[in-house]
Amino acid sequence: MNEIKEYTDKIFEDIKHIDENGYEYWFARELQIVLDYKEWRKFEGVIDKAKSACKNSMVDTNEQFVDADKLSINVNKGKRIINDYKLSRYACYLIAQNGDSRKEVIALAQTYFAIQTRKQEIIDEYYSDLPEDKKRLIIRKQIKNGNYNLNRTAVNSGVTDLARFHNSGYKGLYNGETADDIAKRKGLRYREDILDNMCSEELAANIFRIAQTAAKLKRENINSDMESNEIHYEVGKIVRKAIKEAGGTMPEELPTPKKSLKEIEKETKNIYLDL
């Protein structure tokens, strides 16, 4: 077990995972190490207390503490199943609340997960009340930053043709459609940006595709043009599958907004100029 030299919020961010639907989670076994519990038996006792607290709060424990048992192979090649959990942010907070308060890292975990939980609540409340065009503007800005990061990652991963690379992602998400195909289906003018002509739901699907592709390229240390394109295509398909399984609308079936974001930004700018 590696000794943690410095306790900062980064230790919790470093072990955070994102699932195929964009939800964050932490593995209990990884959190055990960060929270300085050397024995799983003792840490599992803390998890049991956290589960009880969750149940007493009338929250479904099965959604917050998801069984994630895995196969472990020891140095002698012996195999055994070890217990693990996928923990929500709320589950991690409850574990911290029931942990050994004498540990410095426990106090940090309590603060970190409490703040993050409340921050997300505020964001959700704020975002849900926003008008559709405002949501589109916010997500479009996130996509701009995300694509900048993805382009840098792609080039470092051996991509030589960024247009082809991006089309690979679109093909996976849009059932074979390229950027040009999407533009034609939407009835856009030549060189008009397809992302500026998507509703917030369609933009959200694309930002997830972008973020997960960049993460996968980095995680797997890809250094091949062909493999990078294949990964982008596969991630697009995974996002499409997640939408289908969640009962959502396929991105190509979502309505195209009446106004592009360029038009909305221009109108907003003119309003301020007239004041």
3-state secondary structure the chain: CCCCCCCCCHHHHHCEEECCCCCEEEEHHHHHHHCCCCCHHHHHHHHHHHHHHHHHCCCCHHHHEEECCEEEECCCCCEEEECCEEECHHHHHHHHHCCCCCCHHHHHHHHHHHHHHHHHHHHHHHHHCCCHHHHHHHHHHHHHHHHHHHHHHHHHCCCCCHHHHHHHHHHHHCCCCCHHHHHHHHCCCCCCCCHHHCCHHHHHHHHHHHHHHHHHHHHCCCCCHHHHHHHHHHHHHHHHHHHHHCCCCCHHHCCCCCCCHHHHHHHHHHHHHHC
- Is the whole model's pTM more than 0.75, yes or no? no
pLDDT in tens, the chain (275 residues): 444 445 566 888 889 888 766 678 999 999 999 999 999 999 999 999 999 999 988 889 998 999 988 877 766 767 788 899 999 989 999 999 999 888 888 888 888 888 777 766 666 666 677 889 988 988 898 899 889 989 999 999 999 999 999 999 999 999 999 999 999 999 999 889 999 999 999 999 999 899 889 988 988 899 999 999 999 999 999 999 988 988 889 999 999 999 999 999 887 765 433 33
